[in-house]
Amino acid sequence: MSVPTVSVVMSVYNGERFLAEAVESILCQTFRDFEFIIIDDGSSDETSDILAGYEKIDSRVSVYHQENKGLIASLNRGCGLARGQYIARIDADDVALPERLERQIDYLEQNPQVALLGSSIHNMDERGRRLSTLLLPTGDVEIKERLFGLHDIPFCHVTLVFRTEVLRAVKGYRRMFVACEDYDQWLRIAERWHVANLPEPLVNVRRRAHSFSFTNARQQVISKLVALAASEIRRAGGRDPIDQSEPVSRELLRKMGVSDALFEDHLMGVYQYWISVMLQSSDKAGALRVMREALESEPWEHVSKSIVANTWLAAARLYSEQGRYLESMNAIARAVAVRPMIAGRPIKRVASRLGLVNENRDERKEAVRNSL
The CATH number assigned to the domain holding 26 equals 3.90.550.10
Classify residue 207: in a domain, yes or no. Answer: yes
Query: Which residues lie below 8 Å from residue 279, measured CB to CB, with a gap of 6+?
Result: 287
pLDDT digits (tens, 9 = 90+) for 44-62: 999 999 999 999 999 999 9
- Which residue stretches of the chain have pLDDT < 50? 354-372
CA dist 188 and 176 (Å) reads 14
In this structure, are 195 and 310 located in the same domain? no
From 167, 193, 211, give the residue that closes a domain. Answer: 211
Classify residue 350: in a domain, yes or no. Answer: yes
Helices (H) and strands (E) in the chain, counts: 15, 9
pLDDT digits (tens, 9 = 90+) for 150-166: 878 999 999 999 999 99
Residue-level pLDDT at 282:
86
Residue-level pLDDT at 126:
86
In this structure, are 60 and 163 located in the same domain? yes
From 158, 190, 211, give the residue that closes a domain. Answer: 211
Classify residue 24: in a domain, yes or no. Answer: yes
DSSP state of 286: H
From 190, 211, 232, give the residue that closes a domain. Answer: 211
Q: How many domains does the chain have?
A: 2
Question: Which amino acid makes up residue 288?
Answer: L
Residue 50, φ and ψ in degrees, nearest 5: -60, -45
CA dist 146 and 141 (Å) reads 9
Is the separation of the CB atoms in 190 and 114 below 8 Å? no
Classify residue 348: in a domain, yes or no. Answer: yes
Question: Whole-prediction pTM value?
Answer: 0.89
Classify residue 279: in a domain, yes or no. Answer: no
Residue-level pLDDT at 344:
55
The parent domain of residue 83 ranges over 6-211
Write out the H or E segment, with its range, that includes residue 23: helix 16-27
Residue-level pLDDT at 314:
94
In this structure, are 12 and 146 located in the same domain? yes
In this structure, are 149 and 18 located in the same domain? yes
Classify residue 226: in a domain, yes or no. Answer: no
Classify residue 235: in a domain, yes or no. Answer: no
Query: Which residues lie below 8 Å from residue 297, measured CB to CB, with a gap of 6+?
Result: 214, 218, 267
Handedness of CA 231, 233, 235, 240 (dihedral sign): negative
In this structure, are 205 and 338 located in the same domain? no
Classify residue 216: in a domain, yes or no. Answer: no
In this structure, are 205 and 320 located in the same domain? no
